[in-house]
């Protein structure tokens, strides 16, 4: 089911999200990877305040590439979430409500998700340049010395994610294995392709020519192009 939500993501909002839902996020989210998470843990160990407002926050596990001229950010694909597993329970207990990454999570993280009525989203891996089109603003808020791993604040518009683990602990990876005896169900793969096609269709060719030219070479898109040509000829 497709759902559109705005940040901050509260307990009331996570109650409406279920494993397998396709969600489009609009609002403010933070970017932090393992180096930034380690820094935040060190801050807490010293008894200091975190550099971001953690209450009802959403943290995207991502390290962007340099931005092209006129764009707020470069390629913005997700990184593997397990790198943050040893830090995530602490931040969830402090009020973080949503995480965006890719891949499975540890039992400790899942327990913390349930305990805090939080949620774990997955973004589509390998589509970083297209996902960046959903980011309207980006600014470094701290740890600039970490370069691409600095903590950033992003403004996003209809940023596409999938609920992988919901607040009740329902886990899309596990249910997919149970239902299809495979890691990812056929239905979910089809939905991912539909989602990716949408962003390929709206992406400006002059900005993403390399990606779109490669997509055009796929058999699927070649077939669609031929269909459009036939339709145009019959008009």
Confidence at 185, pLDDT banded by 50, 70, 90 = very low
* Residue 200 included in any domain: no
Supply the angle between the helices 219-234 and 209-216 in degrees, to the nearest 10: 80
CA atoms of 201 and 130, how far apart (whole Å): 10
Confidence at 188, pLDDT banded by 50, 70, 90 = low
Look at residue 67 in the predicted model and tell me its pLDDT: 73
68 three-class SS:
coil
* Residue 130 included in any domain: yes
* Residue 229 included in any domain: no
Place of tokens 């096609």: 197
101: left (phi over 0), alpha (psi -120 to 50) or beta: beta
Compute the residue count for the chain: 235
Residue with the larger pLDDT of the pair 20 and 219: 20
Look at residue 53 in the predicted model and tell me its pLDDT: 94
- Residue 112 belongs to what domain range? 2-170
- The yes-or-no verdict on residue 132 having pLDDT over 70 is yes
* Residue 27 included in any domain: yes
Look at residue 181 in the predicted model and tell me its pLDDT: 45
* Residue 21 included in any domain: yes
- Mean pLDDT value of segment 49-63: 93
* Residue 50 included in any domain: yes
Say how many domains are in the chain. Answer: 1
CA atoms of 144 and 139, how far apart (whole Å): 10
The tens digit of pLDDT for each residue in 87-109 reads 999 999 999 999 999 989 999 99
Residue 160 belongs to a domain with what CATH number?
Answer: 3.20.130.10
**Strand residue runs (E) in the chain:** 2-6, 22-31, 58-60, 98-101, 119-122, 135-142, 151-165
- Mean pLDDT value of segment 135-161: 92
DSSP state letter for 147: G
How many beta carbons lie within 10 A of that of residue 198, not counting itself?
Answer: 13
CA atoms of 39 and 176, how far apart (whole Å): 35
* Residue 221 included in any domain: no
* Residue 195 included in any domain: no
The tens digit of pLDDT for each residue in 75-84 reads 677 888 999 9
Residue with the larger pLDDT of the pair 91 and 228: 91
CA atoms of 113 and 111, how far apart (whole Å): 5
The tens digit of pLDDT for each residue in 208-224 reads 454 445 444 444 444 44
- pTM to 2 decimals? 0.75
- Mean pLDDT value of segment 170-176: 81
Which helix (DSSP H) or strand (DSSP E) does residue 210 occupy? helix 209-216
Specify burial of residue 219 (Cβ count, 10 A radius: 0-12, 13-18, 19+).
exposed
Confidence at 69, pLDDT banded by 50, 70, 90 = confident
Are the C-beta atoms of residues 84 and 156 closer than 8 Å to each other? Answer: no
Nearest in space to 102 (alpha carbons), one of 87, 83, 118, 115: 83
- Mean pLDDT value of segment 119-126: 85
């Amino acid at each position: 089911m497709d759902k559109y939500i705005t940040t901050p993501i509260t307990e009331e909002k996570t109650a409406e999200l279920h494993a397998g839902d396709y969600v489009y996020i609009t609002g403010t989210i933070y970017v932090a990877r393992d180096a930034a998470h380690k820094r935040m843990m060190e801050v807490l160990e010293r008894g200091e305040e975190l550099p971001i407002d953690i209450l009802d926050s959403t943290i995207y596990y991502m390290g962007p590439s340099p931005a092209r001229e006129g764009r707020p950010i470069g390629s913005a694909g997700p990184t593997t979430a397990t790198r943050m597993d040893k830090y995530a329970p602490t931040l969830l207990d402090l009020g973080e409500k949503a995480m965006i990454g890719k891949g499975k999570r540890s039992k400790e993280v899942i327990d913390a998700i349930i305990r805090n009525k939080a949620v774990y989203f997955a973004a589509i891996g390998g589509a970083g340049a297209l996902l960046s089109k959903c980011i309207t603003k980006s600014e470094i808020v701290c740890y600039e010395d970490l370069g691409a791993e600095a903590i950033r604040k992003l403004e996003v518009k209809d940023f596409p994610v999938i609920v992988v683990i919901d607040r009740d602990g329902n886990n899309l990876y596990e249910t997919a294995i149970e239902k299809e005896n495979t890691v990812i169900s056929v239905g979910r793969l089809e939905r991912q392709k539909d989602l990716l096609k949408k962003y390929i269709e709206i992406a400006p060719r002059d900005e993403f020519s390399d990606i779109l030219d490669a997509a055009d070479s796929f058999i699927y898109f070649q077939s669609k192009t031929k269909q459009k040509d036939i339709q145009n000829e019959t008009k």
